Structure 1
Amino acid sequence: MQYRRAVERLRMLAEACEQTRRVPADEPFLREAYVFGDLLEGTDPIEAIEVVFVLNLPSEDVSWGSHPPGTAWLVDFLHLDKGGIAYWWRSHRDPVANHRIHEPVRFWSLAGIETEVLEALAERRFSSARRQTTAPRRPPAEVEAELKTTLDHLRSVHAAYWDRRWRRAHRGLSRYPEHHLWEAVRGYLELLDERDKRAGPDEG
């Protein structure tokens, strides 16, 4: 994807995020959206736009690499499954950044579209784009804490996998129970590898 097209698609994604505010709900499900990775470096062409969405869910419901409950409609509504977008989910109670998400820049929130960020990216003013974000700057999430959450999630999926009601509740919009199991395993192993890498050979 050409850089110019990627920025335009990010703008369209921001507009779609803005439309989610019209969905009737006691509290908004989607709270913020961030971009990170190659787009912020001006890579051209770009393989995929890397984005992360902050959800109004507790940490234990947003295990790394999983599709938390209630996100299937967002994937469809935001056209995230059309290709060209790599996306992740985060809880509003956790830092957005972690071992995989570095220096994310917010492009949408409940306050509206971050037009300054989009304009800066369109004009390739990358340092300006990073300065524009008004997101609270918190240290990246600790690997150990996320590892525990992913292990708890994996155990939960494993325990319920053959339960008929669970399988029925986790099927729909081109997703099946197998997807949830695979994502739980992948998320846990990714964080396990990251922890071992940081520990080094002498501490393994």
Structure 2
Amino acid sequence: MRVMGVDPGLTRCGLSLVEGGTGRSVVALDVDVVRTPADLELAERLLRIADAAEYWMDTHKPAVVAIERVFAQHNVRTAMGTAQAGGVVALAAARRGIGVSFHTPSQVKAAVTGNGSADKAQVTTMVTRILGLQTKPTPADAADALALAICHCWRAPMLERMAYAEAAAAEQRKRYEARLRQVRKARKEAGTR
């Protein structure tokens, strides 16, 4: 499975591409960071991020885009910019029929390091080790984008199994309720005779 990982941000937006193999095997294919100057208008900054993401999607043809979910940040302005950057990337993917999955920072950290509250240095170290890279990806946005893609590769099979199980349970419940209605109807009809 080819996964594009996105660590959204207005100033720096990390983009990565990994190929997930069998088991926990993942290979890094590309990584970059899109930078936009703070003195540009917001719309222009978002356009630059969208253009870069669209280029990546059209060039690399990912099966899915994994984006960091804005979970909670103390700085509302930063959170808004992060959400807007993630939104334009999600929109670009949706327009291409590419699936989008959101992962919280703690989910990504837990998947990559085993600790949902790991710091950036720990994430970078584990990403470097997992992918067998010679040097650590920099800046941290690049490592975070790779971590998002790795997280999705490892979590996607579990998420699919859970969705299948939930759908099967819902179908079973639907059949049970239909059968229950039939039994009640039959009893009611038998009682009126």
Do they superpose with TM above 0.5? no
**Larger of the two Rg values belongs to structure:** 2
Q: Which has the higher contact order (CA 8 A, sep 6+)?
A: 2
Larger helix fraction of residues: 2
TM, length-normalised to structure 2:
0.29
Larger strand fraction of residues: 2
